[in-house]
């Protein structure tokens, strides 16, 4: 079973040289720490920055320079600043190669729910609906089951949707799965020490698994 850092490390292996990447809040943010050496990526922050750098040194925080999580950050050589409309323009026009975000539920059709729980205070979707509707390549980083032990990989989402038929890959503490175009989750890799039966048990949606599913390699 993977830790949150393990999930982030596994996802980092999906990032290719030259990618422009948008990272969501939570586990996706951790992915930035594990981008392999020799891979050049540009991180987009949807409040209007390409080329997001690390947090500033203490005393060098700039209140005018934040990321989409409202954290103080820095720029890097080659960074560019733009307004919010252009930021979502480049997302809509699919200039961003990869989007990594968290989810409450994903369905076997690739639908995602991650913004609203009926009966609870709704904070809003922020940029999530724009990102999932437009991105050509989305990886969901999430726990396989919720705190109540219920599967988050479902035949259909039960929570209000963020987007439909948009998710193609999911990385959880148990597995890497693809969402098949015709519907269903295809088991691609098992987390170290996790059996296919355990993954099947934790997956409520339709799961397709070959007889021999490789164990993932995470350093």
The catalytic residue positions are 46
By CB under 8 A, is residue 159 in contact with another protein?
Answer: no
By CB under 8 A, is residue 178 in contact with another protein?
Answer: no
By CB under 8 A, is residue 167 in contact with another protein?
Answer: no
Q: Is the CB of 143 or the CB of 162 nearer to another protein?
A: 162
How many residues bind to another protein according to rule CB under 8 A?
54
By CB under 8 A, is residue 87 in contact with another protein?
Answer: yes
Among 40, 83, 150, 210, binds another protein (CB under 8 A): 83
Residue 30 Cβ vs another protein, minimum distance, rounded to whole Å? 14
Q: If you count them, how many residues does the chain have?
A: 219
Q: Please report, as residue ranges, which positions from 93 to 152 form the binding site for another protein (by CB under 8 A).
A: 111, 121-130, 133-134
Q: Give the largest CA-CA distance in the chain.
A: 56
By CB under 8 A, is residue 168 in contact with another protein?
Answer: no
By CB under 8 A, is residue 88 in contact with another protein?
Answer: yes
Mention every residue, 6+ apart, whose C-beta is less than 8 A from residue 178: 168, 169, 170, 185, 186, 188
Give the separation between CA 51 and CA 75, rounded to whole angstroms: 6
Residue 161 Cβ vs another protein, minimum distance, rounded to whole Å? 5
Q: Give 68's DSSP letter.
A: T
Q: Give 38's DSSP letter.
A: T
Give the separation between CA 76 and CA 26, rounded to whole angstroms: 22
By CB under 8 A, is residue 158 in contact with another protein?
Answer: no
Cβ atoms 51, 42 nearer than 8 A: yes
């Amino acid at each position: 079973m993977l830790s949150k850092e393990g999930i982030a490390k596994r996802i980092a292996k999906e990032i290719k040289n030259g990618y422009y990447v948008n990272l969501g809040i939570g586990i996706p943010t951790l992915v930035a720490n594990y981008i392999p050496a020799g891979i050049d990526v540009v991180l987009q922050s949807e409040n209007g920055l390409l080329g997001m750098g690390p947090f500033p040194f203490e005393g060098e925080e700039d209140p005018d320079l934040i990321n989409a999580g409202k954290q103080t950050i820095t720029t890097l050589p080659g960074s560019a600043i733009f307004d919010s409309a252009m930021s979502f323009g480049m997302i809509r026009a699919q200039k961003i190669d990869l989007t990594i975000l968290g989810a409450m539920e994903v369905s076997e059709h690739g639908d995602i729910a991650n913004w609203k729980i009926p009966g609870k205070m709704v904070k809003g979707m922020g940029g999530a609906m724009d990102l999932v509707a437009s991105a050509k390549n989305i990886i969901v980083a999430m726990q396989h089951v919720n705190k109540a032990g219920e599967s988050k990989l479902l035949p259909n989402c039960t929570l209000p949707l963020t987007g439909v038929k948009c998710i193609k890959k999911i990385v959880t503490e148990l597995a890497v799965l693809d969402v098949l175009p015709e519907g269903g989750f295809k088991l691609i890799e098992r987390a170290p020490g996790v059996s296919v039966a355990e993954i099947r048990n934790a997956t409520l949606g339709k799961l397709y698994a070959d007889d021999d599913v490789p164990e993932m390699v995470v350093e």
